[in-house]
Structure 1
């Protein structure tokens, strides 16, 4: 049975706001139980999780925000965006909500890098993670295959390309990265674009794209954290994603001990949008498996 979507107009009414470094951050909370943090990707926002939101909220306390520079959150023009700051933002949101229990994380794309930073901080005893699941993302810089649009944003003329970025450019990019039979409808593209253009988003896209070289800087620390055996990990990956599909999972299996991976045939870069039922099934199986296994605590 397909999962019910939450229209963007409804999703927006359910959000709340808190302040982070002088900027308004939109966030969403639902459900009760163990905290589950959802971290979205580039260039979209937390609405990416709307198919999974209600089913997950029936089981967990689900938390998500539009990160700084994304969606309906603040998008300051004169700001140097950083994955490390986005990890700080997630921790600030958890503190704002009074979350003190061990944290479960489900992340996608850009959010994978933020989750990797949180995982590294877990081993530095700066946060306690209970589990982490990655959807399609550049977990390893050596396997990441950026789109032409991303390369242009990284170029010296990136600021010009970003300001000219349009709905048509977003559609063209999404056609390349979604599965051949799971591309978003025109209505969905309208909503994705509304979130990108909110608060004049295109004018900072060349700043947000700095996450790609930043991944290379932190690569060894992040991979080392994934190679530890304390926090249960799983990758659920759309196989035909040209950016971080089957080739990324192959590298994960080479580098990560006892790799737990799921490939979704025919699915592209946005499995939570393209195949939410499958993602939910594999996520819940992961959680059920680790519930029955005693977990080693970071703080003993």
Structure 2
């Protein structure tokens, strides 16, 4: 018992020393993030400030266009849409929030970081903007958030989802392949310890593993992502955020069935397309293969073989090509 207590004391001391020696995180030191933040807004969700980008800041005609809700992935933020923004804004009024616990939004210590809570937050945001119908493009954990949105659409929520485009994400828990590090980070106590003792360089390295061989991020780009992740982060943030992996298994039937039901059973079916970077080790071509097996009339597009997980960063041009082709098809 004494040895265990000594180990805990040494561990806590090590964490405190690491915190004292680590410079304060300031993502605003990067011009890209600074400019993105200046163009954003905040709204209040249960007392927590939530950052979101609204294209009507730059586009005076935005409110006359159909709305596109852009949902980012884990562990990044709404700035992931930056390289697609200009083209998207030509046709859409774009809304891109940072989920609670992500990016420039609040990261409370005590909060239930569930997919259901994230959808509750986004519902309140859209309601505050008086937006009752919208299209969705979603990446990674954003695809899971969208699946809950689709399930709620079946439950007759007071809004209309007009279409959905999924980018690489763990739509099916049986086919999703998280790294061991991701599994450890969601584990109680172990996840907290790892967040606080691992050097940030390891988080950067792990993030770069899911990019394609020729689309790896520069060190500055990785620093930008990691700064936004850990900015104002509580000691237990990653352990809490990673629990969406467990939720996917628990709610598997609700969320997978929603994709089929909204396309086949509703009076006004919701068209859906999946655009995928096949090189992605966690949710690449194997997700597309599973999608084609169990989704009725699957609409899927594969990008070049060397494109990985972050298709909106690695190949925005072709991702946009397939996205706009989809919208041209459903508008005719």
Normalised TM-score (structure 2):
0.84
Map of 2:40 onto structure 1: 15
**Structure 2: stretches of 5+ with no match in the other structure:** 1-30, 264-268
3-state SS of 1:94 partner: helix
Q: 1:166 to 1:96 in 2, by over 3 A?
A: farther
Verify the 8 A CA contact 1:69 1:201 in the aligned structure 2. Answer: no
**Structure 1: stretches of 5+ with no match in the other structure:** 1-5, 293-300
Rg (Cα) greater in structure: 2
Map of 2:214 onto structure 1: 181
Within the alignment, does 1:122 sit opposite 2:161 as a pair?
no
Verify the 8 A CA contact 2:108 2:234 in the aligned structure 1. Answer: no
Query: How far apart are the structure 2 equivalents of 1:76 and 1:181?
Result: 37
Map of 1:298 onto structure 2: none
Within the alignment, does 1:104 sit opposite 2:104 as a pair?
no
Deviations 1:42-97 (A, max 9, x none): 11110111101121111100001100000010000112210011011111110111
- Which stretch shifts more, 222-231 or 250-259? 222-231
Deviations 1:199-244 (A, max 9, x none): 1256311011110011111110111111122110001011010000
Query: How far apart are the structure 1 equivalents of 2:235 and 2:314?
Result: 25
Map of 1:220 onto structure 2: 253
Deviations 1:82-139 (A, max 9, x none): 0011011111110111112x21000000111000000111111113110001000000
Instruction: Give the alignment of 1:59-208 within 5 angstroms.
Output: 59-100=91-132, 102-126=133-157, 127-156=159-188, 157-200=190-233, 203-208=236-241
Verify the 8 A CA contact 2:164 2:270 in the aligned structure 1. Answer: yes
Following TM superposition, the consecutive aligned residue runs of length 4 or more in structure 1 with deviations greater than 2 angstroms are 163-167, 200-203
Verify the 8 A CA contact 1:196 1:202 in the aligned structure 2. Answer: no
Q: 1:202 to 1:61 in 2, by over 3 A?
A: farther
Map of 1:257 onto structure 2: 296
Query: How far apart are the structure 2 equivalents of 1:149 and 1:10?
Result: 32
Normalised TM-score (structure 1):
0.92
CA RMSD of superposed structures (Å): 1.3
- How many residues end up aligned between the 2 structures? 286
Out of 247, 254, 267, the position equivalent to 2:307 is 267
